[in-house]
Structure 1
Amino acid sequence: MEDRKLTVRAVERALDILMCFTKGSDLGLTEISARIGIHKSTVHRLLATLEDKGFVIRDTSTEKYRLGMKVWELSAHLSQNDDPAILLLPQMEQLRDRLGETVSLYLRDGIDRLRIGAVQSNQAIRRVAVVGARLPLYVGASSKVLVAYADEAVLNAVLEDREWPPTIDRQAYVSQLEEIRKIGYATSYEEREPGAAAVSAPIFDRTGKIAAALSLSGPVSRLSPQTLIEFSPVLIEAAREMGMMIHSS
């Protein structure tokens, strides 16, 4: 039993190491050790195994690590039914072409949101959305959508987050969520980053629970508050159609 516990612990630690790369690439041994709270000698042994199996690559010139090809090989075998970003890509491209801005797809992971898919705007000045980016749930249009339609436990966890910025009023945030549930979409105007605006709508699964958030984002020079409102019916309809595709998958 003790050997089994040690084996499971090693697997958990190896997975913790891989998860470090969700918040950055080219990480050094010391940085990884600090992030997961494990001694460097243990991390070094686990990294050696992950490198041997192809899950990480070590740059000998910098002694830093990045994800290896084995990770991409695994992701390539996700089926369309398993990966909404693949299944919904044509509809995301159609929405981008219709409205001219970057379209993103987000899932909630704990008290973060994860961008699992993005179709970049074709315009010269655009907002580039990086797939795999992990962002907090207390700010941004997609964040508010994902929390507005989640269970109360999720809302409480977000409100109790130690990283909650003191500049954001919690009661005002809760009031925004109530309004989102009434109108069916959320907007953000330079909330998370200067010069960027977004509008987001929920995608519901076959049980009526929120499955993802569909977002349209771009520079404030093109996306005024009024434009976000005007785009919202198009986004809501696109999200509804995407939900129907998920239902039938």
Structure 2
Amino acid sequence: MEEEKKTVRAVERALDVLLCFVSGHEWGLTEIAGLVGLHKSTVFRLLATLEDKGFVVRDAATEKYRLGLSVLELSANLSRSDDPSVVLLPEMERLRDQLNETISLYVRDRGERVRIQAVQSTQAIRRVATVGARLPLFVGASSKVLLAFADAGVRGAILAEAAWPAQLDRESFAKQLDDILRVGYATSFEEREPGAAAVAAPIFNRSGKLVAALAVSGPSNRLTPDLMHEYAPAIIESAHRMGTRLG
């Protein structure tokens, strides 16, 4: 019984740490310890566990913590006015109706991208996008957008990953990212899987921070390279409208 109480108390403490982010989006270790009334060593261990599970992330530059994507994944069925997957849904539906292809919203989580929202095409043959899916950052239009428009430090760290695929030349990929940065969008044609194509553009909030990648995907025999370049201006315009909705 005593062990059960200890376990519950540990959960309570971890939840108290998470609840600190109700009153602020970013906190340092000392600040959190003061808010929850615990020793810094205890809070450090709690934060390490929460970080390992993706509930918080630590900014190496500022040494402050903020909420991680696991919070978003956990609340996937909870509509919130500040949730990009909810706020941007009407614009995603509008773009789907305009292009009649599957629309997806991706964010970067360390070395992966996560699909946080999707609107399926109504065509009989279509790309089916599963919300919550995690994909590598090495291939795909959205991956390239999330890397090309990321901070230089993030981009460099990913390119230096030891797990980088041997068949993918880092120098050529880096040059491709530079080209994407210049034109404002990325395309992929059967890069990750045969028969699939996609075009993506970055979404920046009103402060100019990259928050997500907006992607249009479909069968490669319909979403040809020429058509993707034709669609790019509409996707960029839609991404811009989405950004104005985000603080």
Alignment partners' CA distance in 1, 2:151 and 2:137: 14
Q: Displaced runs of 4+ in structure 1, greater than 3 A?
A: 2-16, 74-78
Q: What letter corresponds to residue 94 of structure 2 in structure 1? A: Q
Q: What is the match of residue 116 of structure 1? A: 116
Q: How does 1:190-229 map to 2 (within 5 A)?
A: 190-229=190-229
Q: What is the match of residue 85 of structure 1? A: 85
Q: 1:179 to 1:3 in 2, by over 3 A?
A: closer
Q: How does 1:18-37 map to 2 (within 5 A)?
A: none
Show CA shifts across 1:169-194 (max 9, x none).
Answer: 11111111111111110000011111
Q: How does 1:34-113 map to 2 (within 5 A)?
A: 74-77=75-78, 79-81=80-82, 83-113=83-113
Q: What letter corresponds to residue 131 of structure 2 in structure 1? A: V
C-alpha RMSD over aligned residues: 2.6
- 3-state DSSP of counterpart to 1:246: coil
Matched-pair identity in %: 52
Q: What letter corresponds to residue 120 of structure 1 in structure 2? A: Q
Q: What letter corresponds to residue 118 of structure 2 in structure 1? A: A
Number of paired residues? 195
- 3-state DSSP of counterpart to 1:92: helix
Whether the aligned pair in 1 keeps the contact of 2:203 and 2:213 (CA below 8 Å) is yes
Whether the aligned pair in 2 keeps the contact of 1:105 and 1:215 (CA below 8 Å) is yes
Q: What is the match of residue 51 of structure 1? A: none
Alignment partners' CA distance in 2, 1:203 and 1:196: 23
Alignment partners' CA distance in 2, 1:233 and 1:15: 38
- TM-score, reference length from structure 2: 0.71
Q: Which runs of 5+ in 1 are unaligned?
A: 20-70
Show CA shifts across 1:81-129 (max 9, x none).
Answer: 1x10100101101111110111000111112111111011111111111
Q: What is the match of residue 160 of structure 1? A: 160
Q: What is the match of residue 182 of structure 2? A: 182
- TM-score, reference length from structure 1: 0.71
Alignment partners' CA distance in 2, 1:121 and 1:103: 7
